[in-house]
Amino acid sequence: MERKIYDLGDIVQMKKPHPCGSNEMEIIRMGMDIRIKCVGCKHSVLVPRAKFEKNFKKVLRSSEEPQSE
Ligand SMILES: [Zn+2]
């Protein structure tokens, strides 16, 4: 079952907000690790995919047209 609901360039919301107060993150690199950039303070962090998925809440804005399920 394909469970990838986020994609490169998406703005995503994490369960825990960034210390700067923003909880919007942009996905700027996808691979075995995922690099996300805080929309609030532009700080980027590299997190393992498993950790990202654990903290991932939802996609706020998709970079492309949303596909039907
Ligand atoms: Zn931040």
CA of 12 to the centre of ligand 1 (A): 13
Q: Is 44 part of any domain?
A: yes
CA of 43 to the centre of ligand 1 (A): 6
Q: Is 28 part of any domain?
A: yes
CA of 4 to the centre of ligand 1 (A): 24
Query: What pLDDT score was predicted for residue 5?
Result: 87
**Is-contact 27 35, C-beta < 8 A?**
yes
What total of structural domains would you count in the chain?
1
Q: What pTM did the predictor assign?
A: 0.84
Helix (H, G, I), strand (E, B) or coil at 55: helix
Contact residues for 11 (Cβ-Cβ < 8 A; gap 6+): 24, 25, 26, 39, 59, 60, 61
CA of 41 to the centre of ligand 1 (A): 4
Q: Is 2 part of any domain?
A: no
Q: Is 38 part of any domain?
A: yes
Q: Is 19 part of any domain?
A: yes
Query: What pLDDT score was predicted for residue 63?
Result: 81
CA 66/CA 35 separation, integer angstroms: 21
Q: Is 20 part of any domain?
A: yes
Domain with 21, as residue range(s), is 11-61
Q: Per-10-residue mean pLDDT for the chain, 69 residues long? A: 79 95 96 96 96 95 69
Query: What pLDDT score was predicted for residue 54?
Result: 94
Q: Is 40 part of any domain?
A: yes
Q: Is 66 part of any domain?
A: no
